[in-house]
Amino acid sequence: MTNTRQEIEPFNYIELFKRNTALIVTMDKSGKLNMMALDWKKMEEIDDKTVIRAQVAYSRYTYTLLTEGVNEFTINIPSNNMYHAVDIAGSYSGINTDKFQKAGLETIPGQKTKVPTIKD
Ligand SMILES: Cc1cc2nc3c(=O)[nH]c(=O)nc-3n(C[C@H](O)[C@H](O)[C@H](O)COP(=O)(O)O)c2cc1C
């Protein structure tokens, strides 16, 4: 597979980030992935660093993975044809559903994180 990924300046994509429901991907300690629909998010600059705040309710399995899993996550902005995946990510829980399999999504290994990003 050709690697077509490029480094981006996050603030160049802030409108896309603000406008779209994101998919936050997390991982348990065995490497199993989960994804969740995420609307409560914010991008800001603190001390010259781009910081993304993601608000995840305590009741979400994603919260458990963020606090007890590998302690990393990726934020993915889905393309327009991925509404189905966003629906699945926002209406099933990873505690009993493999949402990647259900949505038929593929991942790409993270360059800076153990957690991968979503293809597309
Ligand atoms: C469009 C949409 C946006 C959502 N945004 C958030 C959010 O920002 N934070 C949150 O805690 N839950 C949010 N939810 C709810 C979770 O995505 C939902 O409860 C999900 O099933 C939790 O999955 P999990 O148990 O695998 O973590 C959203 C749901 C939808 C449909």
Domains of the chain plus CATH, in order, are 10-118 (2.30.110.10)
**SS3 category, 113:** coil
- If pLDDT is split at 50, 70 and 90, which confidence band does 5 have? confident
* Separation of alpha carbons 117 and 8, rounded Å: 14
Ligand 1 centre distance from Cα of residue 90 (Å): 5
The residues facing 118 across adjacent strands are 107
Q: What is the pLDDT of residues 73-102, one digit of tens each?
A: 999 999 888 999 999 999 999 999 999 999
Provide residues with CB under 6 Å of ligand 1: 21, 34, 36-40, 55-57, 60-62, 90-95
Tell me, what amino acid is at 101?
A: Q
The pLDDT-based confidence of 7 (bands split at 50, 70, 90) is confident
Question: What pLDDT is stored for residue 2 in this prediction?
Answer: 58
Q: Residue 54: helix, strand or coil by DSSP?
A: strand
CA distance 6 to 87: 28
Q: What is the pLDDT of residue 1?
A: 52
Q: Are 25 and 115 a contacting pair, CB within 8 Å?
A: yes
The per-residue pLDDT for range 21-69, each reduced to its tens digit, is 999 999 999 999 999 999 999 999 999 999 999 999 999 999 999 999 9
**What is residue 32's DSSP assignment?**
-
For ligand 1, mutation pick of 38, 56, 84, 91 (most atoms within 8 Å of CB): 38
Q: Point out the ligand 1 atom lying closest to the alpha carbon of residue 91.
A: 21
Residue whose CA is at the smallest distance from ligand 1 atom 10: 56
Q: Ligand 1 centroid to 37 CA: how many Å? A: 5
